[in-house]
Structure 1
Amino acid sequence: MKAEPILQELEAVKERLSAEANGDTRRFLDQMDAWLVEHPHAGPVVNSPEELQARLRAREATEPPPPHGKPYRVHDPIIAEVHRNREALYREQQAGALILKDEPPRKKR
């Protein structure tokens, strides 16, 4: 999406509204107030953040919680191999005994 056509349209609307009010900001605001009286907002009006939070809490209290779905999973062979290795190590640790050797490990040359 290119911003230039949007900016051009915005500038054209601004110029048209300015021409309707003959460049007078006070007249423009009076016209806007008159339009708002003629076209009232149909939905609820929130006047403060506290009121919005109270509305959200009331709505959350009356609505049931959303159902918990299964998480999205993708088979990843690397992660599957890590899980297999961890399971094998866990089984070895549970079943195997500790083996002590009499000889110290040899140094690599």
Structure 2
Amino acid sequence: MKRLTAIAAVCLLASAGAHAADPNLGRNLAATCANCHGTNGKAVPGGGMDSLAGESKAKLLQKLADFKSGDKPASIMHQITKGYTDEQLSLIADYYAAQK
């Protein structure tokens, strides 16, 4: 049992290290947003979705937090945001803030 616990701990640490080392993780996580918010966060004009590209990280994180907590009503965003950790949401916000 102790050996199994040790192996599980090593796997978790290796997984966490892989996430930290992946320079494209924010982009990869943000790819799921493209269906509604457009490629690289550039929504189709007149399509009814907010463009995310170039928004400040603070503004994006606030919106995401509001969706996650339920403070901002949504049809689907409240469900989507609950599927991400705060660290992952921060990476997504970093990615979109860097887009032009």
What is the TM-score normalised by the length of structure 1? 0.21
The structure with the larger Rg is 1
What is the TM-score normalised by the length of structure 2? 0.22
Larger RCO: 1 or 2 (CA < 8 Å, sep 6+): 2
- Structure with the bigger percentage of helix: 2
